[in-house]
């Protein structure tokens, strides 16, 4: 317990000292918000059911932050630790891998949450964002989506040996996924074929789920998304527990 | 395992694909001794020490460290041993005190890390990031990390490689201090001088096998090698003067440079007395005693590749 607290605290400090991770988690989503919010504004539109562009973008950008943390941060952090033989030094102590992974999950979850809070605060203050759902229901959906994506990220983190490879692999999954899952460009304006293909990306389910509860739909209206995310969480956990290596 | 034995190794064998890194190694380490594993790069030193630490899995053999089987009881063993690895690091952006604080939390019975900061002269860099430390400071931090659980056995793998001579001497003093606290030290090095100065016993390895194991003094004596006295002279000297000395066995003169050699330790005194008695002006006098390097050359027929 003592080591979990210490490790979590140190990992949080290290995350804070790493400009690249901070930028992608905290700043990049804000940039998107300001650029597209500046272009399209937030006037109610019929195509969005009476909401504005910013209103519908916030849950999508939240999904994007989850994808950044889950895919890029987890895999790059773990691959860096492995490549620099930091894990090897840990292996020579009584520290258990479970404590290490738990500390990482806590830190990345806190940072992702911080990214989401910054995004919502900026949308509210600058664009007068409207929110018609339940905060608790949205927080729950956010938590499930995070755990599901982090556990997918740890599959990558377990397989990849170097930070450079982790960056290349996670980015090459990340970019097509945020473009084709509705996380940046709404799927509603995409052609039918792309909407069909979007179903292969796990992020699509996060976007659908977050958007639904954001606009007040109940969890029971999203059983498919919830089932997919829980399944991904369990699969990710099982695979990453099997493939974890100190060196 | 006897009461004074810290480590026993029987028939240790480890291969990487078709390469046999260590083959049929058997030895034991006594409690409270400094035990050195020496040999050229690729001799199997690191493989051996990492099997003892539980980091590598031997293909064959029986190892006990403080009564533990390192691979099976790795986490229990890790509470009782300290390690400095040849290849490892800590996060680049972690400060010295933070690293010590973190590693403290991993153990059940840690020491106060402030004492280690003092003992290892890390106070001036306690708030400095790991990536900004010099080579010597990094190694001192790794020594501190290896001592944080007050271990019974400490493993140092190529502790002074890449350090300048001054930093290296400082590290030697620290290793002696660790040993004086009653801790068993197992170290690897490819510096024969380091092994000779630090170790109670050395195990010389080459191509994955033990080629000698004894105290440095005994290994050097076993060579039965010659001491040499070398000097230059101004003016005439007679070879016979030296040939008549009982301790001198060989003489060579090249222009004004003279080398006399013999196995008796009194050789130097005899030569200097003679030069003084005859009133010969000499300069640039130096001696050469056999050392562990000579032992290695005698045993393998080659120089250790630094």
Q: 3-state SS string over A63-112?
A: HHHHHHHHHHHHHHHHHHHHHCCHHHHHHCCCCCHHHHHHHHHHHHHHHH
As a whole number of Å, the CA-based R_g of chain B is: 24
Please give the span between the terminal C-alpha atoms of chain B, in angstroms, as a whole number: 36
Three-class secondary structure of residue B216 per DSSP: helix
pLDDT average, residue stretch A79-101: 93
Q: What percent of chain B has pLDDT over 90?
A: 71
Distance from the A78 Cα atom to the nearest Cα atom in chain B, whole angstroms: 11
pLDDT the model gives residue B210? 96
pLDDT the model gives residue A199? 87
Cβ neighbours of A94 in B, within 8 Å: 75-76, 78-79, 106-108
Three-class secondary structure of residue A237 per DSSP: helix
Distance from the B41 Cα atom to the nearest Cα atom in chain A, whole angstroms: 20
Looking at the predicted structure, is the pLDDT value of residue A33 above 80? yes
**Alpha carbon distance B156, B177 (integer Å):** 14
Per the document, the length of chain B is 306
Distance from the A79 Cα atom to the nearest Cα atom in chain B, whole angstroms: 12
pLDDT average, residue stretch A98-108: 93
pLDDT the model gives residue B142? 96
The two most distant CA atoms of chain B are separated, in Å, by 74
Give the position of tokens 């605290």.
A9
pLDDT bracket for residue A247 (50, 70, 90): confident
Quick: pLDDT tens for B227-252. Answer: 889 999 887 778 888 888 898 898 98
B224-to-A228, B250, B291, B298 alpha-carbon distances in Å: 78, 15, 11, 11
Which ranges constitute the DSSP H helices of chain A?
2-16, 19-22, 28-40, 53-67, 74-83, 86-91, 97-127, 135-159, 163-180, 192-197, 202-214, 223-243
Which one, of A205, A46, A84, A88, lies nearest residue B46 by Cα? A88
Contact at CB, A88 and B87, closer than 8 angstroms: yes
Distance from the B92 Cα atom to the nearest Cα atom in chain A, whole angstroms: 9
pLDDT bracket for residue A214 (50, 70, 90): very high
- Residues facing residue B35 across a β-bridge: B186, B201
B93 Cβ neighbours under 8 A, 6+ residues apart: A14, A17, A18, B129, B130, B131
Predicted complex ipTM: 0.89
pLDDT the model gives residue A46? 82
Distance from the B125 Cα atom to the nearest Cα atom in chain A, whole angstroms: 18
Quick: pLDDT tens for B252-304. Answer: 888 888 899 988 878 889 999 998 888 888 889 998 888 898 898 888 877 76
Contact at CB, A94 and B79, closer than 8 angstroms: yes
Contact at CB, A6 and B101, closer than 8 angstroms: yes
Q: Identify the top-confidence range among A75-79, A196-200, B55-59, B160-164.
A: B55-59
Lowest mean pLDDT among A212-216, B57-61, B301-305: B301-305
**Alpha carbon distance A237, B118 (integer Å):** 43
**Alpha carbon distance B293, B192 (integer Å):** 6
Looking at the predicted structure, is the pLDDT value of residue A112 above 60? yes
Contact present, B62 and A65 (Cβ < 8 Å) = no
pLDDT the model gives residue B304? 67
Cβ neighbours of B141 in A, within 8 Å: none
The structure's pTM equals: 0.87
If you write DSSP's letter for every residue of B233-294 in order, what string do you get?
ESS---HHHHHTSTT--EEEEETTEEEEEESSTTHHHHHHHHHHHTT--EEEEEEE---HHH
pLDDT bracket for residue A182 (50, 70, 90): confident
Looking at the predicted structure, is the pLDDT value of residue A224 above 80? yes
Residues of B near A (Cβ–Cβ under 8 Å) read: 53-55, 75-76, 78-79, 83, 85, 87-94, 98, 101-108, 145
pLDDT bracket for residue B107 (50, 70, 90): very high
Which one, of A49, A26, A186, A203, lies nearest residue A120 by Cα? A26
Among chain B residues, the shortest Cα distance to A77 is held by B91
Among chain B residues, the shortest Cα distance to A94 is held by B75
Half-sphere exposure of B304 (CA within 13 A, CB side): 23
pLDDT the model gives residue B1? 58
In our burial notation (b when 16+ CB lie closer than 10 A, e otherwise), range B246-279 reads ebbeebeeeeeebebbbeeeebbebbeebbeeee
**Alpha carbon distance A208, A198 (integer Å):** 11
Contact present, A229 and A144 (Cβ < 8 Å) = yes
Structure tokens at A247: 């060196």
Lowest mean pLDDT among A67-71, B11-15, B166-170, B279-283: B279-283
Q: What percent of chain A has pLDDT over 90?
A: 61
Contact at CB, B55 and A88, closer than 8 angstroms: yes
Contact present, B272 and B260 (Cβ < 8 Å) = no
A182-to-A179, A207, B41, B157, B191 alpha-carbon distances in Å: 7, 7, 56, 53, 62
Structure tokens at B204: 């010389």
Helix A202-214 and helix A163-180: axis angle, to 10°? 50
Domain count, chain A: 1
Say how far residue B59 (Cα) sits from the centre of its chain. 27
Nearest to A89 among B89, B92, B107 (CB): B89
pLDDT the model gives residue A245? 87
pLDDT the model gives residue B305? 56
pLDDT the model gives residue A194? 86
Which one, of B263, B266, B261, lies nearest residue B242 by Cα? B261
Quick: pLDDT tens for A117-161. Answer: 999 999 999 999 988 889 999 999 999 999 999 999 999 888 888
B89-to-A167, B161, B214 alpha-carbon distances in Å: 21, 15, 33
Cβ neighbours of B92 in A, within 8 Å: 84
pLDDT average, residue stretch B54-67: 96
Total Cβ atoms within 10 A of residue A100:
20
Distance from the A147 Cα atom to the nearest Cα atom in chain B, whole angstroms: 25
Domain residues for the domain of A63 are 2-243
Looking at the predicted structure, is the pLDDT value of residue B306 above 60? no
In eight-state DSSP terms, residue A25 is: I
**Alpha carbon distance B135, B98 (integer Å):** 19
A233 Cβ neighbours under 8 A, 6+ residues apart: A144, A147, A148, A151
Three-class secondary structure of residue B212 per DSSP: strand
Contact present, A48 and A129 (Cβ < 8 Å) = no
In whole numbers, what is the pLDDT of chain B averaged over residues? 92
In whole numbers, what is the pLDDT of chain A averaged over residues? 91
- Residues facing residue A201 across a β-bridge: none
In our burial notation (b when 16+ CB lie closer than 10 A, e otherwise), range A38-59 reads eeeebeeeeebeebbbbbbbbb
Indicate which of B105, B138, B158 best probes the interface with A, i.e. most A CBs within 10 Å of its own CB: B105
Give pairs for B65-69: CB < 8 Å, separation 24+: B65/B6, B65/B7, B65/B153, B66/B6, B66/B7, B66/B152, B66/B153, B67/B1
pLDDT the model gives residue A109? 96
Contact at CB, B102 and A6, closer than 8 angstroms: yes
């Amino acid at each position: 317990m003592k080591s979990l607290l210490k490790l979590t605290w140190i990992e949080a400090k290290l995350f804070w000292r790493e400009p690249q991770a901070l930028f992608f988690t905290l700043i990049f989503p804000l940039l998107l918000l300001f650029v597209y919010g500046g272009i399209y504004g937030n006037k109610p539109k019929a195509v969005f059911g009476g909401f504005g562009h910013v209103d519908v973008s916030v849950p999508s950008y939240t999904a994007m932050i989850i994808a950044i943390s889950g895919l890029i941060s987890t895999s790059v952090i773990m691959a860096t630790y492995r490549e620099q033989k930091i894990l090897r030094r840990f292996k020579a102590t009584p520290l258990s891998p479970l404590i290490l992974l738990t500390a990482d999950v806590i830190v990345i979850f806190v940072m992702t949450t911080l990214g989401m809070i910054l995004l919502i605060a900026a949308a509210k203050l600058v664009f007068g964002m409207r929110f018609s759902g339940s905060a608790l229901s949205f927080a729950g959906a956010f938590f499930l989506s995070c755990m599901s994506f982090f556990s997918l990220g740890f599959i990558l983190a377990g397989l990849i040996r170097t930070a450079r490879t982790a960056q290349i692999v996670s980015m090459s999954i990340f970019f097509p996924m945020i473009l084709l899952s509705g996380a940046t460009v709404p799927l509603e304006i995409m052609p039918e074929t792309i909407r069909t293909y979007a179903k292969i990306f796990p992020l699509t389910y996060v976007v659908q789920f977050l958007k639904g509860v954001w606009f007040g739909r109940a969890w029971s209206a999203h059983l498919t998304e919830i089932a997919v995310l829980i399944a991904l969480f369990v699969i990710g956990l099982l695979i990453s527990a099997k493939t974890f290596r100190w060196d | 395992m006897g009461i004074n034995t810290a480590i026993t190794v029987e028939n240790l064998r480890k291969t990487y694909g078709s390469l046999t890194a260590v083959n049929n190694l058997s030895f034991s380490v006594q409690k409270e001794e400094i035990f050195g594993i020496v040999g050229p790069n690729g001799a199997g030193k690191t493989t051996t020490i990492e099997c003892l630490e539980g980091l590598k899995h031997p293909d064959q053999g029986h190892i006990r460290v403080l009564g533990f089987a390192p691979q099976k009881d790795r986490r229990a063993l890790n509470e009782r041993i300290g390690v400095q690895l040849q290849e490892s690091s800590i996060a680049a952006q972690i400060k010295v005190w933070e690293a010590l604080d973190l590693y403290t939390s991993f153990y059940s019975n840690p020491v106060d890390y402030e004492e280690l900061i003092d003992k290892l002269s890390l106070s001036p860099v306690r708030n400095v990031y790991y990536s900004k430390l010099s080579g010597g400071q990094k190694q001192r931090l790794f020594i501190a990390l290896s001592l944080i659980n007050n271990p019974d056995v400490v493993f140092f793998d190529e502790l002074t490689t890449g350090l300048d001579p001054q930093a290296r001497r400082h590290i030697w003093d620290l290793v002696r201090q660790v040993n004086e606290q009653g801790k068993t030290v197992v170290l690897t090095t490819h510096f024969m001088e380091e092994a000779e100065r630090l170790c109670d016993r050395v195990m010389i390895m080459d191509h994955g096998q033990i080629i000698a194991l004894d105290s440095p003094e005994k290994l050097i004596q076993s060579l039965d090698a010659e001491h040499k006295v070398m000097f230059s002279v101004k003016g005439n000297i007679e070879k016979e003067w030296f040939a008549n000395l009982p301790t001198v066995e060989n003489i060579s003169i090249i222009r004004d440079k003279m080398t006399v050699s013999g196995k008796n330790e009194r050789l130097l005194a005899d030569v200097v007395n003679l030069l003084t008695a005859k009133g010969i002006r000499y300069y640039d006098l130096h001696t050469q005693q056999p050392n562990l390097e000579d032992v290695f050359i005698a045993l393998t027929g080659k120089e250790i590749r630094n």
